[in-house]
Every structure is written in structure tokens, then in C-alpha cells.
Structure 1
């Protein structure tokens, strides 16, 4: 059922989100009250920013102009589903992602105050703010009406920021503002070098570890078998993939329109959204045994979900060893301004394993997400940290971003060799690449690419 011919009275809705990520320390282990590995922390295991109460966050979100719908508490982070997107809180970091006409940046001063008063963080370690170009910039408020105004707002708060426009200024592009690490704490320096945030399993080891976690314990293995050792010279300390999609197909949009008026409680919307997630394949993006999904269906249309992903079996046991990540999806399905976004911070393998219990490789994940929505245009970004931009981690002779670019192209422009690909209606091979850009920042590399559907006459 589609309500495309009944647009909301308030006009178009701005789907593309404002994404704010603030780090107050390089890792959870650097929090002033971080517990020793293997020991329970205070307040039921919560420390750092996770000690902040929901009521305090709600007061901050009132400034931003959005509300908390529900929350999932994980081993290492809390995932808040909002009336306009998502909010993730880790001990040392928070991620605020909001859509519509929310005032994301206006919440920053209050966030800084909360961090000082409740978590003993006197300053910011690093800050990132990014967004896709707005569809309707004239509908925004405050500093969000103009990129230059957003830059000026952030420059007034942070003396070491830098702003970038990535992609076509008169087409699909992505805007980024980031600060260099603070040079007065945590060993940061003004040249932009970034200490690893948390030792993590290299991407090629992740699939094997999650597979082992899903299988039964071997008879010759003790139940408390120690975690797999980590190669400290091969660390992916921060990894974020975004898939931003517009011009969704009719088949991709239709499931996100509500058939019935909402019930009196949020419970029905949540239950309906979880059923929809299973029906259209969102539940299958990552293995179910590592996924805790929270979802919400809006009336008359729209959908949001957060998922916490326990991609290491020892997640939560060592503040210096991250093992839990997230993904989040948000959908605005109206025909004139349809949009869907997917974001995930689990470092993905570069090679497929063909095992349903494994974390998907990057190419497989892209196909699974794109096959749900069948967009006309796609923007992909992979933001990955490295110890030194002159010594980028390499995979078979390729830099991490070049490996990602190859996966982007293979996922969308090459037909699958497997029978039916990811499904009988796989979108593999339907797209052409329209932009490819690699950036090197202080301590971070970025792979940016845009794709659009091939016309019937295209080769």
C-alpha cells in the first residue's frame, strides 16, 4: 500500500542527517573512572558518559528538537532511538545523528557541559561533524541553513578545526568538519596524529572469530578460553561506513508506509517495525546471534532502527579492547524526496567467507543494504583511521581506501558470479560509478564514491 499521493501537510521532510561525533578520550580505557580489565565498573558496569542519566540526555535533546523513543543498553554502549534518528553513547564518545530540521549543533555546548559535570572530561579529544548536501536547505534553521554558518559555529567552539567539501558542489557531495586531537591531554598532538582508540581484530580475523562464537564449544576447549590475540601492528581503531540513498524504487518505498493509524502506545509501532525488519531483510544484514535490534515505524510513513552488534565474544570485558558496534537505518519513503541511510562502525572483512554466521564482508554488506531499497542514486563513504597517513595499513598491496573503492565498485557495477547473487533480484551490476575520491586527513583516510542507476541504453 502506498500513500504517495497524500504528502504530509507540512511539506517535504529532510531525510539526510546531520552526524555529530565527539570523542572525549582516545578509548574507553582512558576515562577517568575506567575499571581495570575484567573487573566490574561502578553503577552496574557503566562509567564515563554512560553514567549520564536518560533525563539529562533528554534535556540536551530538547535543545536539538527531538525526543527519545526507546533505548537498548549494550555491553559497551547505549543506543537511543530518537524521533529524528539516533543517539549512541559510549564511555568516551557519543554520536548524535539527527534528520529533519533538528538543531544538531546547538546541542554541542550543553554536551560539553554534561561531559565536564558528569564524566569529568574537561575538554574534547576529537570532534567530527558531517552531512550529505541537504535537499531543502531553505527549510533548515539556525547555523544549519548554510555550510559556512555551520563552520563558523564550530570554529567559535574549537580552535583547531578544518572543513571540507567532498564531491561535486553542484551534485551529490558530502561535507565534513573535523578537529585535530587535543594537544593537552591523552598524548595528542597538533599535527593530527591519532592514537588508536581501541585494539580491534584486523578485518580478516573478524569473520573467523564470530564464526567460532556461533558454534558449539569444542570438547577439547575450556569454556573460558582466552580471546584471540590481536596483532597490535595491524589495528583498525575507528571505522565507519555510510550508505546514503535517494530516489528509492517504488518497491523499496512501499513497505515503509503504515496501513493503519497508530495505536495509543509506542509498543505497537515497535512491534510492527520489528516484523517489517524481518520481512524485508534488515534482520539478515548481520548474523542474528550477534545482533540486538530496536526499530520503530512512523505514521503515516517512515522507519528507524538501531542495532547493537557484539562482533567479539568478549565485548565489554576490557575497556581497551572494543568488541561491540552498531548499525542504524533511517528511511523517508515519500516519492518526491525519498531517502534511506545506513551507517555501521564494525570493521568489516575484505573477503567473503560464505558462512551465514560470519560478519559480512564490505561488498556483501553493500549489496544486502542496496537490495532492500533499490535507490536511483547512492553515496558511499568509508572513514577509517590509521596510525600514520604515510604508513597506511595495506591489504594485498592496496591501501585501505583503495580496497574499499574496489569493493564499492564490485558490489554495484559487477554482476554476481553466484547464482542470483545475494538474491534472485540482486541489484549487483545495475549501477555506474559517477564519482570516486580518496582523501587523507590527520590520522584518517576517506573513501568517497557515488553511483547511479544505469539507463536502459547504458552498456
Structure 2
């Protein structure tokens, strides 16, 4: 997932992305012209593409293509992705892009669009493979914190996971740009437990309900739980079988002309188009020359998507792949709320465990980190049976998806088949880290896994 002018044979490419998410209102319904719009083009979605391109020039990346959805616009970039909703934007960039340097210009653009203040800001990333290659404030976490602290008086920064191993970095602000950060974003003591991962969860099941048309589907997720939900699967040490499809045989000239069509064909061949059902998915993909892959997908997970600003019905997933041996990396990110276990209700959306297996069976990583970041303002309603919170249930789903031995797995009828060897398939991993955090208004489930030896 890189532009040709950034990649050279003499140096590695930094796959792990910098993820910036800025909210300018708590929901689209809070924007004055939300209910008068007939096409969803209000708030930040009214900003012309040329204005976003000028901001992205500061970040050092380009727009390759765009898909306009019912509730958001998905821009595929030369270095990852950019999503624009009426009330928020998500900028995800890899390599040596200068993600944070775009923030001052983003704030100017938002003010011109009628947003004088920031509601909340989130910035996160996995530990870099090659930090010495970064530029500007991205050279070290301390510098990134200082950069954001100079813009936001109420920010808090955290390191989640092993400082000398796989870890995840997070910066977030409390609601309201001028908030003093008087403890609202301070986490409780992290619940860090390393469990025996050799046991099999007796409730684990690979059986997912059969797909039904979206218009016949019942909502299985409570609106309060669904207010904000992001799952990330960050994978390294991809197997040869997982890396091979992402190398191109085309010349740079031919590759540019067919990059979109080649990527869509590849997406179908390796099972990316089967992660979510095709009837709710609009996929935009790009195959880079000589190697690399990116895609954005808009997911109409509710049939009434775009009809009510207070009720989200459209989400996204995005995938980015750097396949080169020595620094191979693939990421999957999705904001569609997922059940933590199979349900008897008809649904087109896979449960969390099934989704994890579908993704991991495509890339066969040697190591992976999972994060689930979910709003918890109504956490009492989010609790599962027997008092289990959403993040605790998610941790069980992580473990069930990745540690259940292959011979014990039961494939559902619609489960996509992985190509090649099962050496890196879901079910052959051991958990190496498990941490739950409670922030003001948000909960986090973090876990790391690696292949059994």
C-alpha cells in the first residue's frame, strides 16, 4: 500500500498506519441542516474534493478514487484511506506520511464549514517497525503528544501493551475543545490478565446464521451500543501464501491503467468480497505496482441507511497490505457493530468471531494485534448475560476465533475458503497479551496473538 515515488528497493516501507479521527459534533443529527438535506450532503460532506486534496498535500498523499455513500464518502489514498461523514472525518495514513501536520488545516476547513470547535479527537497507531524513517512529529510518541497538546488543552495519551513488544498508542480528548480534561478521560486501572490459551472455549461456535436480504433483517444491536464501534486487526509476518497475491506482474504504466479492475478481481479471488455479503457492500480497491493493495468498502448494514441522521445505518471497512518479506503487514478496520457471538436472529452481518476468522484466513499472519474501541456511555445496556461487559465478551470472541484448534472448527456453509496451506489459519494461535481499559465514555479491548510453535 504505497505510492511508487515513496518506495525504493533500498529501504523498507512502514505498513502500520497513523489513525486520526476528529468529531465536530456528537452525531449528524446535531448539525443544523441535517434534516433539510435530501442527499446526505451536509456538514463536512459539502467540502469540495479540491479542498481535501489541498489538505492531503500537507500530509503527503493523494486521492486515487472516491465512493460516495448514503452517509459518508470513502476516499482511497495513495497511502491508505480518508472517510468523511457530515460530523466527523477519519484520516488513516501509512509510510512516512505526516498525518498530524494536516490537523491545523483540517480545523480551518471545519471552521469554514460551520464547526468552530472540536467535539472529540482520537489519534492512535501501532508501534512503528522503522521509527527512524519517520519525519516531523511522528519520529517519536512523545513528539506526537506534544504536537497534539499544543492544539488541544484536554488531551490524554496512553501506551497499551508491552513497551518492548507489540503495543498500541492512543491519544484522545474529552468532549468539547475547551474542556479542562478534569479526569473524564482518565482510565481505570487496566485489567491486564494473561490467560492459559490452550483451553477451548466450550461455547465457541463457527456457525453463523444464514444470510437474508437486508430489507428482511432484524436489528440485533442496540442503538446505544452501536453509537461508536471500531474493530482493528493489525497483522505482521504474513505467510508466503498470504503475501503472494499482492505482487503485480504488470509494468508501472499498465498497472496504473488496470489497478482498480485488477484489485477487484483479486478481492474476489482471495475472499475479501466474502467478508461481508455483496448485497450490502460497495467495494473500491487498488492494486499497486510492483506490490501492495488497498481497499475501502461501504456497508449498508441497515436498510434505512441515510434516512435518519440520528440512526446510523452505513459503515465501512478498509484493508491495506504491504506484502514484502521482512516487513509484511496487513490491516483491517471496520466500524459496523458486530455481535460477540452467533445469534438466532436473521442478519447479513457476521458476528465478531466469524469476521476475525475470515480476515485472518486471508492473510495467515505470524503475529496480530486486535483492538476493539467502543463507546460506553450506556454501558449498563451493553452488558451481556451474567454481567459480562461488551469488551469482556469481545475478548472471549478474540480467543475463540484464534485459539480453537483447526480440527475442532466447524465451517458454516457460507464461510469463505482460504487459499493454500492452513499454516497461518485462524485457530492455530496463542494469546500473548490481553488488556481491557475503561476510558471516559469509551472502553477498549486489546489483545495480541502469535502462531503456536
TM-score for the superposition, normalised by structure 2: 0.86
SS at match of 2:70: coil
Corresponding residue SS for 2:393: helix
Paired position in structure 2 for 1:394 = 383
Distance 1:275 1:22 in 2: 33
Q: Which residue of 2 aligns with 1:245?
A: 235
Residues 57, 34 of structure 1: alpha-carbon distance in 2 compared, 3 angstrom cutoff: same
* 1:357 positional shift: 6.5
| Corresponding residue of 2:404 | 414
Residues 354-392 of structure 1 show CA distances to partners (whole Å, capped at 9, x for unaligned) of: 999721000000000000000000000000001156x47
| Consecutive unaligned residues in structure 1, runs of 5 or more | 1-6, 194-206, 217-226
- For these two proteins, the number of residue pairs brought into alignment is 416
Give, in whole Å, the separation in 2 of the partners of 1:231 and 1:359: 14
Contact 1:246–1:377 (8 Å) recurs in 2: yes
CA displacement at 1:80 relative to structure 2: 0.1
Residues 410 and 302 from structure 1, CA distance in 2 versus in 1: closer, same or farther, beyond 3 angstroms?
A: same
Partner of 2:212: 211
**Structure 1 residue 321 corresponds to structure 2 residue 311:** yes
Partner of 2:85: 90
**Distance change >3 Å, CA 229–CA 360, structure 1 → 2:** closer
Q: Could you say which residue in structure 1 is the equivalent of 2:330? A: 340
CA contact (8 A) 1:130 1:175 kept: yes
In the alignment, the residues of structure 2 paired with residue 264 and residue 161 of structure 1 have an alpha-carbon distance, to the nearest angstrom, of 47
Any idea what SS the aligned residue of 2:123 has?
Answer: strand
Matches of 2:397 and 2:444 in 1, distance apart? 14
Q: Distance in 2 between matches of 1:161 and 1:132?
A: 19
**CA distance in structure 2 between the partners assigned to 1:154 and 1:279 by the alignment:** 42
Which residue does 1:366 correspond to in 2? 356
CA distance in 2, matches of 1:295, 1:355: 31
Partner of 1:258: 248
Decide whether aligned partners of structure 1 residues 432 and 67 sit closer, same or farther in structure 2, where only a CA change above 3 A counts: same
Shift of 1:349: 1.5
Distance in structure 1 (CA, Å) of the matches to 2:181 and 2:315: 27
Please give the alpha-carbon distance, in whole angstroms, between the structure 2 residues aligned to 1:228 and 1:247. Answer: 37
Q: Supply the distance in 2 between the matched residues of 1:61 and 1:259 (Cα, whole angstroms).
A: 30
Structure 1 SS opposite 2:225: coil
> Which secondary structure does the structure 2 equivalent of 1:211 belong to?
coil
Task: Report the counterpart of residue 14 of structure 1 in structure 2.
Answer: 14
**Matched residue, 1:177:** 171
Contact 2:153-2:181 within 8 A present in 1 as well: no
Alignment partner, residue 308 of structure 1: 298
* Bigger relative contact order (CA 8 A; separation at least 6): 2
Give the equivalent residue in structure 1 for 2:124.
Answer: 130
The 2-side partners of 1:47 and 1:406 are apart by: 40
Contact 1:214–1:289 (CA under 8 A) maintained in structure 2: no
State the distance in 2 between where 1:388 and 1:45 align: 27
Residue 374 of structure 2 corresponds to residue 384 of structure 1: yes
Alignment check: 8 A CA contact 2:221 2:338 kept: no
Alignment CA distance shift 1:404-1:228 (3 Å): closer
Query: What TM-score, normalized by structure 1, do the two folds share?
Result: 0.85
Tell me the equivalent position of 2:74.
Answer: 79
Q: Give the structure 1 partner of residue 321 of structure 2.
A: 331
Unmatched tracts of structure 2, length 5 or more: 1-6, 186-207
| SS of alignment partner, residue 312 of structure 1 | coil
Structure-1 residue corresponding to 2:158: 164
Alpha-carbon deviation of 1:236?
Answer: 2.5
Cα displacement (A) at 1:263: 3.5
Counterpart position of 2:339: 349
CA offset at residue 313 of structure 1?
Answer: 0.3
